A = this chain, B = another copy of it.
Amino acid sequence: MTNLNRQFRLAARPVGRFSESDFELVESRLAGPNDGQFLAKITHLSIDPAMRAWMDAGHATPVEVGDVMRAIAIGRVTKSRHAEFGEGDFVRGMFGVQEFVVSDGAQVSKINSEEGASLAAHLGVLGNPGMVAYFGLLDVGRLADDDVVLVSGAAGAVGSVVGKIAKIKGATAIGVAGGPEKCGMLVDELGFDGAVDYKRGNLSTELSENTPRGVDVFFDNVGGEILNQGLARLNHGARVVVCGAISRYDSEEAAGPSNYTQLLYKSASMIGAPASDFTQRFPEAIAQMSTWLAGGQLTSVEDTVAGDIEMFPTMLRRLFSGANRGKSVLELGR
C-alpha cells in the first residue's frame, strides 16, 4: 500500500535571507508501514526559528540539500505495525515538513491527550520551546527568587514561557519585543513587569529605564544589538543564557556582541543552552509545566494557522518578520 505524500525538500542553501525557491515541494508515493513501523498523518507542523539555522552549512547538523526539510511535528497514527503505537494515537517527533510519515518510533513520543492541553501546546509550552525555557532559566540560568530576568524575543514561543516561569518563581521579568502590540501583550496579558520595544528608538536608554536594579539572568533568543545592549546591563555574577539568535539566522550580517568583555568586568557567564542537554529530565519539566498550566499560572500562547502544506514557506517567513505571537504552528487538513 502506498500513500500520496507531499513534502518540502531543501533545494538550495540560502545566503542571508531565505526565499521560497530554497524549498521544493515534491509529490511522491510513500510505501509502508513495514513490520515495526507506523504510518502517521501529520496534523501539526512546528514552525521554529531553528529551521533557518538548520538550512546553513555552518550548523552542527545541517539539513542536506535534497533532503526533506527538518521539522518537529505531531501526527495521528493511521496504520501501525509497531507494538507500541496504535491507530488513532497522537505522536510527536522529528517528522519533517510533509503530509505523512513512516516511522520506526525512534525518538517519537506519544501524546497523552488526557492532560487537557491542546495539541499545539505539545509543540510549545510542553514541547521543545517549553523545555528550553524551563531548563534554560532554572538550570542554566540558575534563577534565584529575587533575580531580575531580561528576556529577548519575549513574545515568542520560548520567551513568553521564560517570562511566565520567572514570574511564577517570584522574580522580576522584563521582556524585549517588537512593537507596541507585543509589548502590551507581555505586560497586560502575560504579567511581565516591563517591556522594551526595540523598534521604538533608543534601546540602550529604554533597557536602562526598565532595569534600574540591573539584570541577573539575560535569556537571549535574538542576538545582534539586543544581545549587545543587554550585556551592558548585567549585574555581578549574571548569567546570559544563549538560546537562539533569530536576528542572525536569516541575515548575512553576523556581528558578534562587542560588549562581551562585560563578562569579565561583571564575573558573568554566557552559556549555550540547547534543550538536548536535558532530555533525561523532560518528564520532570513536563509534569511541572502541566501542573502550572492546569492551575492557570502558565499560559500556552499559540499562533496556530490552519491550512495546507504549501503554506510552510510563508509561515516560516512570518517568524522572521516578527508576525507571530507565541508558538507558531501550521495545522494541516483541519
The answer to whether A19 has its CB under 8 Å from any CB of chain B is: no
Contacts of A266 in B (CB 8 A): 60, 272
Q: By DSSP majority rule, is chain A's interface helix, strand, loop, or mixed?
A: mixed
Contacts A269-B271, A269-B272, A270-B270; A256 near B260 (Cβ below 8 A): yes
Contacts of A268 in B (CB 8 A): 271-272
Is B264 touching A273 in the complex (CB atoms < 8 A)?
yes
Instruction: Check B272–A263 contact: CB distance below 8 A.
Output: yes
**Chain copies in complex:** 2
Whether A257 lies near B260 (C-beta < 8 A) is yes
Does the CB pair B277–A263 fall under 8 Å? no
Q: Chain B nearest CB: distance from A13 CB in Å? A: 17
Docked-complex contact A274 and B267, CB < 8 angstroms: yes
Is A289's CB within 8 Å of the partner chain B?
Answer: no
Name A253's closest neighbour in chain B (CB-CB): B258
> Is B277 touching A272 in the complex (CB atoms < 8 A)?
no
- Whether A267 contacts B277 by the Cβ 8 Å rule is yes
Q: How far is the CB of A304 from chain B (nearest CB, A)?
A: 27
Interface residues in A226-244 by Cβ distance below 8 A to B read: 228, 242-244
A264-295 residues at the B interface, CB under 8 angstroms: 264-274, 276-277
A262 to B59, CA, bound (A): 9
The reply on A245 being an interface residue by CB < 8 A is yes
How distant is the Cα of A223 from the Cα of B258 in the complex, in angstroms? 10
Residues of B with C-beta under 8 A to A78: none
- Does A168 lie at the interface of the complex (its beta carbon under 8 Å from any beta carbon of B)? no
Please name the residue on chain B nearest to A261 by beta carbon.
B245
Q: Contacts A269-B272, A272-B269 given: A261-B243 contact, CB under 8 Å?
A: no
The answer to whether B260 touches A242 (Cβ under 8 A) is yes
A269: chain B residues within 8 A (beta carbon): 269-272
Interface residues of A (CB under 8 A from B): 59-60, 223, 228, 242-245, 248, 254-274, 276-277
A-B pairs with beta carbons under 8 Å apart, 24 shown: A60-B265, A223-B261, A242-B260, A242-B261, A242-B264, A244-B264, A245-B264, A254-B258, A255-B256, A255-B258, A256-B256, A256-B259, A257-B260, A263-B270, A263-B272, A264-B272, A264-B273, A264-B274, A265-B272, A267-B273, A267-B274, A267-B277, A269-B269, A270-B271
